[in-house]
Amino acid sequence: MSIQKCVRTSDNDEVGDRSHLTFFEMLGNFSVGDYSKAEVIPWALEFSSRHLGLDQARLWITIHESDDESNADWLEAGIPQERIKRFGDEENWWGPPGASGPCGPNSELYYSQGEGQGYGCGFPGDPPGCDCGRLEFWNLVFMQFNQDDKGVRTPLPKKNVDTGMGLERATVVTLGLRSIYDTDLFQPIIRAAERIAGVEYGKDSATDYALRVLADHSRAMTFLVLDGVIPGNGGREYVLRRIVRRAILYGRRQSITRPFLGELVDAVVTRMGRHYPDLVSQASRIKQVLSDEEDLFRNTLQTGSAQIDRLLGEARARGETKISGEVAFDLYQTYGFPVELTEEVLRDQAFELDRPGFDAALAAERERARSAARFVRARNLAGSEFGDQPQTEFLAWTDTQSQAKVLVLTETKLVLEASPFYPEGGGQVGDSGWIRTPGGVFVVDDTRFDDAGHIVHYGRAEGEIHVGELARAEVDAPRRDKSRRHHTATHLLHRALKDVLGEGTSQQGSYVGPDQLRFDFNYSRAVSREHLQEVASIINDRGMDDLPVHWEIVDMDRARQMGAVMMFGEKYGEQVRVVSIGEYSRELCGGTHTHHSGELGSVVIASESGIGSGKRRIVAYAGQAALAHLNQRLHLLESLAERVGARGTDDLETRIDSLLGEVETLRREVERRQQQQANDSAGRLSSRARDVHGVKVVAESVENASAKDLERLVDAVREDIRSGVVVLGSVQDARIQFVVGVTKDLTRRVKAGEVVKQVASRAGGGGGGPPHFATGGGTQPAQLGAALQHAFSVVQSALQEE
């Protein structure tokens, strides 16, 4: 079982309707070769009806058109054929993320929220996800096949199950609401957006849509920044930038002309900080990151919006409804206005963008930039930020100190003729250190390449430094050494993951710093503890082997012949650098490394987690960082041992087992007492049974009982009366819970599911379940008595229908 934070932007344009989100919390459970369709389908129906209290008669199921097995299992579970619909690969096939990999059919559960089959249309005339009141809330994925690169599917030796239920959508259907934004997950954030905009939710459809966008996007941007994402122009950084800018755009549509993202972050922290404590501690940083992006984009938006208005006015005057891709590209290149926002503005004004034309113009510009870069390098970079200064000679692979002339000096930047400082790249952080001259020192906080081949040192000057002086560059060697250890450990980790999990496992990103290494890779599920231990053993064994680490510059063809690992999608030149660790690992890499694997010391894998669909992340430590991490863990164990009364860490496991045994004993005692209480109460309730056409019927309210208490009590009363119908209800947290039980000898005459549905309807709710046992809920506590009184009539009608 897992609860995972998720960000999805594939349907970003639909966010703001009643059911789509960019950020959501996914509830999941998994089986790898344990159980499959025949087990999980009836379990899903039981959980939906009995535990969520959903009316089984309003559940609709979609399956893959070829999946006769699921169809039979749903029929067996109790769903009639007319509410089981088949669709093709586009709707009900979970394909591999690439051209090949595990795949299989999926089965989706939909719930009709309105009267009849939906709010406005019928099923199956519309696609399953139409916005008509029928909402998908659960997806059961059956990984049965492996698809090769030719599209051929062969059965897997072990069939797997991967289910995902959106918390927000599950909340909607459970509470009987229409929109995810009507839940208390969003209402406090919408209230904050109302205050900021000076509007009222529920009065105007356009305003409501904008407020919902702000509520959703505020959650997404807050959690993305919390997880370390910074707005930028590529990958997840661009995802965040687009979400932020879309929120600002919708804010402007509600006449919000001042900065406001920080106030939305506060609303998200207030609502969700109890469950995610890091939100509270990181709130100031999150607001600062988003405030900086907001300031940057507000200027862009002001200028770009004016230009779009001008373009639209000119197009209308010409009688056109389509804006050319070249014009949109000029808007993007000149004013930095994102093409996605251009498309949104045009769509709102009933205009269309020539997107293929934009993409062609962008591709042409990128090719021109590559050609220009080659020409600039050949011409000593004339026209770059630093004038005609030559490229910096790169010394980081061999040196940590050198002497070189100062070529450029600004308030925060310094460029040398040659530099031993490693500029950020390949996941490795940039070096820090000092650049000293006779009159002063430049303290280097970070080092990066610019686009023209200069190594730029970022920091601050102390004393007097002059262009043309000879300076001594000194890298912070201990910090560099920590990064080198982590970089070499990263290569060993990559190779070990391929050995243990398969050659298809490959790097998707990394961070290599003095503090730790983070390694992202593709894998469809969590890596088992046993596999992680095996990976760690391989890495440390290779460290003990003290393998030589060396590098060489070779042609790309030669690198391929050597079997060097390359990053998919990375652009390489004709000459590449291959880093080898003995004969065990070979990768293309531009980073700094140890001279022998023995320099790593211990390598500790600290964590493994999912960071998205099919992507995992490992955090690990090497050398001093590994020792610090282990010392911290040992201190934690000692602290825990002290808290539970163990005699040191060696006794901790025994003490925990003892405590768990005590807890289990207490749990059984509590259950025994609860059952005894139920039995005692059952006698009192049984004595109030009425005779309805010769059948005993108990319909009573129970004060402040949980659903579990009611279920236990229903079982006890049924056993006490031996033959009859039991209907119990209780109010908790302003919501009614109903439980109905029918003894087996009467289930042909009286159906528990029908009884609970009709009884709960008298209290503004519904329910369902199998003939012998059913559950339901209601939203009108004042109607509990009337609903229970109605139970006698419902049973009477059922008996008279024989």
Q: pLDDT tens for residues 623-664? A: 999 999 999 888 888 888 888 888 888 888 888 888 888 888
pLDDT at 555: 87
Say yes or no to pLDDT of 124 above 60.
no
The answer to whether the CB of 327 falls within 8 A of the CB of 352 is: no
Task: Provide the CATH number for the domain around residue 445.
Answer: 2.40.30.130
Residue 118's pLDDT is what? Answer: 42
Give the confidence band of 128 by pLDDT, cuts at 50, 70, 90.
low
Highest mean pLDDT (candidates 2-6, 169-173, 586-590): 586-590
Q: What is the pLDDT of residue 470?
A: 87
Between residues 519 and 123, the one the model is more confident about: 519
Q: How many domains does the chain have?
A: 5
* pLDDT exceeds 60 at position 786: yes
Output the pLDDT for position 784.
92
Residues 778 and 721 occupy one common structural domain: yes
Cα–Cα distance between 246 and 250 in angstroms, integer? 6
Closest to 603 in 3D by CA, of 747, 681, 493: 493
The CATH number assigned to the domain holding 13 equals: 3.30.930.10
Residues 141-168: pLDDT tens digits? Answer: 898 888 887 778 888 888 888 888 888 8
Q: What are phi and psi of 303, to 5 degrees?
A: -70, -45
Q: Which of 631, 650, 676 is the last residue of a domain?
A: 631
Q: Residue 303's pLDDT is what? A: 66
* Phi and psi torsions of 6, nearest 5°: -130, 140
Same domain, 490 and 436: no
Within this chain, do residues 427 and 300 fall inside the same structural domain, yes or no? no
What distance in Å separates the CA atoms of residue 771 and residue 455, rounded to the nearest whole number? 75
Average pLDDT score over the chain:
85
Q: Give dist(CA 714, CA 741) in Å, integer.
A: 6
Is 285 contained in some domain? Answer: yes
Average pLDDT over residues 179-196: 89
Give CA 229 to chain center in angstroms.
13
Whether the Cβ atoms of residue 307 and residue 330 lie closer than 8 Å to each other: no
> Do residues 27 and 165 lie in contact, with contact meaning Cβ atoms separated by under 8 Å?
yes
pLDDT tier for residue 306 given thresholds of 50, 70 and 90 = confident
Cβ atoms 200, 221 nearer than 8 A: no
Place 384 in a pLDDT band, splitting at 50, 70 and 90.
low
Burial readout 48-85 (b: 16 or more C-beta within 10 A, e: otherwise): bbbebbbbbbbbbbbbbeebebbbebbeebbbeeebbb
Strand ranges for 623-661 from DSSP E? none
Identify whether the C-beta of residue 415 lies closer than 8 Å to the C-beta of residue 454. Answer: yes
Do residues 23 and 83 both lie within one domain?
yes
Across 410-558, the runs of DSSP E, i.e. the strands, are 413-416, 418-419, 433-437, 440-449, 455-463, 470-475, 507-512, 517-522, 549-555
Q: How far apart are the first and last CA of the chain?
A: 45
pLDDT of residue 372: 35
Write down the pLDDT at residue 381.
38
- 232 pLDDT tier (thresholds 50, 70, 90): low
Q: What is the average pLDDT across 69-74?
A: 90
Do 520 and 440 share a domain, yes or no? no
For residue 116, pLDDT over 60 is answered with no
Distance of CA 410 to the CA centre of its chain: 42
Whether residue 639 is contained in a domain is answered as: no
User: What phi and psi, each to the nearest 5 degrees, are found at residue 68?
Assistant: -65, -30
Tell me what the mean pLDDT of segment 26-32 comes to: 83
The type of residue at 534 is E
Task: Specify which residues 728 forms β-bridges with.
Answer: 700, 739
Of 194, 256, 183, 248, the closest CA to residue 221 belongs to: 248
Before 124, cis peptide (omega within 30)?
yes
> Residues 372-390: what's their mean pLDDT?
50
503 pLDDT tier (thresholds 50, 70, 90): confident
Amino acid present at 275: H
| 452 and 522 housed in the same domain | no
In tens, the pLDDT along 315-348 reads 888 888 888 888 888 777 655 677 777 887 888 7
Q: Is residue 657 part of a domain?
A: no
CA distance 506 to 492: 13
Packing angle, helices 477-501 and 529-544, rounded to 10: 130
Confidence of residue 235 (pLDDT cuts 50, 70, 90): low
Do 147 and 10 fall within a single domain? yes
Long-range residue pairs from 302-308, CB within 8 A, at least 24 positions apart, any chain:
303/335, 303/337, 304/331, 304/335, 304/336, 304/337, 304/341, 304/342, 305/252, 305/345, 307/331, 307/335, 307/337, 308/337, 308/342, 308/345, 308/346
pLDDT at 364 over 90: no
The angle, 0 to 180 degrees and rounded to 10, between the axes of the packed helices 261-272 and 187-197 is 160
Cα separation, 564 vs 580, in Å, equals 8
Q: Which domain holds residue 93?
A: 1-180
Whether residue 377 lies inside any domain: the answer is no
pLDDT reading at 52 higher than 90? no
Residue 337 lies in a domain: no
Q: What share of the chain in percent tops pLDDT 90?
A: 32
Whose CA is closest to 794, among 736, 743, 754? Answer: 754
Q: pTM, whole model, 2 decimals? A: 0.45
Q: Which of 505, 574, 585 is nearest to 550 (CA)?
A: 585
Q: Does the pLDDT of residue 374 top 50, yes or no?
A: no
d(CA 1, CA 482): 37
Looking at the structure, do residues 497 and 513 belong to the same domain, yes or no? yes
Amino acid identity, position 374: R
Q: Residues 417, 296: one domain?
A: no
Backbone angles phi, psi at 702, to 5 degrees: -125, 130
Give 683's pLDDT tier (boundaries 50, 70, 90).
confident
Pairing assessment for the beta strands 549-555 and 2-7 based on DSSP bridges: unpaired
Q: What span, in angstroms and rounded, lies between the C-alpha atoms of 539 and 494?
A: 10
Q: Quick one: pLDDT band at residue 85, thresholds 50, 70, 90?
A: confident
On whether both 279 and 140 belong to a single domain, the answer is: no
Which helix (H) or strand (E) is 267 found in, with range? helix 261-272
Name, of 66-70, 116-120, 625-629, the range with top average pLDDT: 625-629
Residue 123's pLDDT is what?
52
Q: Using pLDDT thresholds of 50, 70 and 90, give the confidence band for residue 59.
A: confident
Chain mean position to CA 481: 34
For residue 575, is it within any domain? Answer: yes
pLDDT at residue 435 tops 70: yes
Whether 652 maps to a domain, the answer reads no
| Chosen domain end from 445, 475, 505 | 475
User: Could you report the per-residue pLDDT of 742-779, keeping only the tens digit for each?
Assistant: 999 999 999 999 999 999 999 999 998 899 999 999 99
Report the pLDDT value the prediction gives residue 365, as an integer from 0 to 100: 59
333 inside domain:
no
Q: Choose one of 455, 475, 495: the last residue of a domain.
A: 475
470 and 490 fall within a common domain: no
Whole-number Å distance between alpha carbons of 80 and 78:
6
459 and 511, same domain (yes or no): no
Length of the chain: 802
- Count the Cβ atoms, other than its own, within 10 Å of residue 377: 12
CA pair distance 537, 574, nearest whole angstrom: 36
**Token match 């070529």: residue?**
407
Spell out the residues 6+ positions from residue 576 whose beta carbon is closer than 8 angstroms to its own.
553, 554, 555, 556, 559, 564, 588
Number of H helices, E strands in the chain: 21, 31
Distances in Å between the Cα of 370 and the Cα atoms of 332, 365, 373, 374, 383 are 19, 9, 5, 6, 15
| Closest CA relative to residue 724, chosen from 675, 677, 759, 686 | 686
| Residue 90 confidence (pLDDT) | 81
Angle between helices 339-348 and 355-378 (to 10 degrees): 160
Reference 190, options 250, 124, 100, 150; nearest CA is 250
